[in-house]
């Protein structure tokens, strides 16, 4: 869409205190101020910027230093959906799909009863635990700095998680699936459990860094929980533990689809981690120099 250009003089008409108002509160009233030509009725959101600088919701007109004829560029981001809604859909799907395949093998493999391996039972428990944990964290732990994302992301993200779940579940629960040795299975299970606990510990620590209702950012450091010590080595240990969880799951099941899911996940998480790592170093001059982004000593 073509950006809408607003002059500072026109913004003064928004009220006596408009000079000190946050941009986030101003853009929320734009549909009424500017008409429906730039307004999408389904949870639309807006982004503001001036030449050479993107703006935050907490910026004010005074803080921008705009001259009288300065221009503020505004763009409709289109239909949006809340992060919480997206995550609930992303994670509820894998939980339901995997358990559906696990509990109804006759639908996928025929009516002939075939005993399921111990590893398949353990894998189902691990998969269900992981996504139940994610749902719990979405509702009770995470505090999202951005309220919405493009609605098309819902379909992309759900397709990724749901289709990979079906792919992995079909093979691990297949009558022809062959389990590795018990030592490998229980070793992978131990790694999975420790990594899940580590991931949860990091999420709680990050939650506690940001007071409710704020966008405060601080440098994260380990607390008294030994599983948070990974912050001494990487900027995003939640992604590190997530990778370790699925690597352990792959070792435990020795299943190619699980390995492909792990590779796809660590690639995407590496992209996110590198971006967060750069932002930390840019925002905090005293950010610890020895930290990597996601893989200790490597990446």
Interval 252-265: pLDDT, tens: 999 999 999 999 99
Q: What are the structure tokens assigned to 294, written together?
A: 């996601």
Whole-angstrom Cα distance, residue 46 to residue 80?
10
250 pLDDT above the threshold of 70? yes
Cα separations in angstroms, 118 against 17, 122, 178, 185: 67, 6, 11, 9
Confidence of residue 153 (pLDDT cuts 50, 70, 90): confident
Q: What are the structure tokens assigned to 218, written together?
A: 């601080």
pTM, 2 dp? 0.82
Interval 62-107: pLDDT, tens: 666 655 555 666 666 678 888 888 899 999 999 999 999 999 999 9
> Which of the four CATH numbers 3.30.310, 3.10.20, 3.40.50, 1.20.1070 does domain 4-80 have?
3.10.20
Look at residue 193 in the predicted model and tell me its pLDDT.
Answer: 99
Q: What are the structure tokens assigned to 217, written together?
A: 């950012």
Whole-angstrom Cα distance, residue 263 to residue 21?
46
Specify the range with the lowest mean pLDDT, choosing from 16-25, 99-108, 167-176: 16-25
Look at residue 186 in the predicted model and tell me its pLDDT.
Answer: 98
Cα separations in angstroms, 3 against 28, 49, 72, 142: 16, 10, 10, 32
Contacts of 265 (CB under 8 A, 6+ apart): 242, 243, 246
Provide the 3-class DSSP secondary structure of residue 4: strand
Provide the 3-class DSSP secondary structure of residue 221: coil
Confidence of residue 151 (pLDDT cuts 50, 70, 90): confident
All structural domains of the chain with their residue ranges: 4-80, 82-283
Q: Which residue has the higher pLDDT, 264 or 36?
A: 264
Whole-angstrom Cα distance, residue 21 to residue 57?
10
Confidence of residue 4 (pLDDT cuts 50, 70, 90): very low
- Name 73's bridge partners: 5, 49
Look at residue 56 in the predicted model and tell me its pLDDT.
Answer: 63
Residue holding tokens 């006596």? Answer: 16
- The pLDDT of 161-165, averaged and rounded, is 98
Look at residue 42 in the predicted model and tell me its pLDDT.
Answer: 38
How many CB atoms neighbour CB 60 within 10 A? Answer: 16
Contacts of 122 (CB under 8 A, 6+ apart): 185, 189, 252
């Amino acid at each position: 869409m073509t950006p809408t250009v607003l002059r500072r003089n026109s913004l003064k008409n928004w009220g006596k205190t408009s000079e000190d108002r946050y941009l986030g509160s101003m853009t929320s009233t734009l549909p009424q101020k500017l008409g429906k030509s730039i307004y999408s009725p389904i949870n639309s959101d807006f982004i503001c910027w001036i030449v050479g600088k993107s703006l935050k919701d907490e910026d004010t007109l005074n803080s921008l230093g705009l001259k009288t004829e300065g221009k503020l560029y505004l763009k409709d981001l289109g239909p949006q959906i809340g992060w919480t809604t997206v995550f609930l859909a992303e994670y509820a799907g894998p939980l339901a799909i995997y358990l559906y395949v696990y509990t109804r093998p006759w639908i996928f493999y025929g009516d002939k009863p075939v005993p399921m391996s111990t590893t398949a039972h353990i894998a189902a428990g691990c998969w269900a635990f992981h996504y139940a944990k994610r749902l719990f964290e979405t509702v009770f732990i995470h505090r999202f700095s951005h309220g919405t994302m493009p609605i098309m992301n819902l379909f992309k993200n759900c397709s990724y998680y749901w289709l990979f779940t079906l792919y992995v579940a079909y093979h691990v629960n297949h009558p022809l699936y062959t389990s590795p040795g018990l030592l490998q299975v229980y070793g992978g299970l131990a790694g999975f459990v420790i990594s899940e606990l580590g991931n949860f510990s990091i999420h709680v620590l990050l939650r506690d860094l940001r007071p409710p209702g704020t966008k405060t950012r601080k440098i994260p450091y380990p607390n008294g929980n030994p599983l948070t010590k990974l912050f001494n080595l990487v900027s995003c240990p939640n992604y590190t533990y997530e990778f370790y969880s699925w690597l352990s799951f792959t070792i435990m099941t020795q299943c190619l689809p699980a390995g492909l899911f792990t590779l796809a996940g660590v690639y995407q998480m590496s992209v996110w981690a590198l971006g967060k790592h750069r932002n930390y170093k840019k925002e905090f001059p005293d950010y610890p120099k020895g930290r990597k982004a996601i893989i200790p000593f490597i990446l």
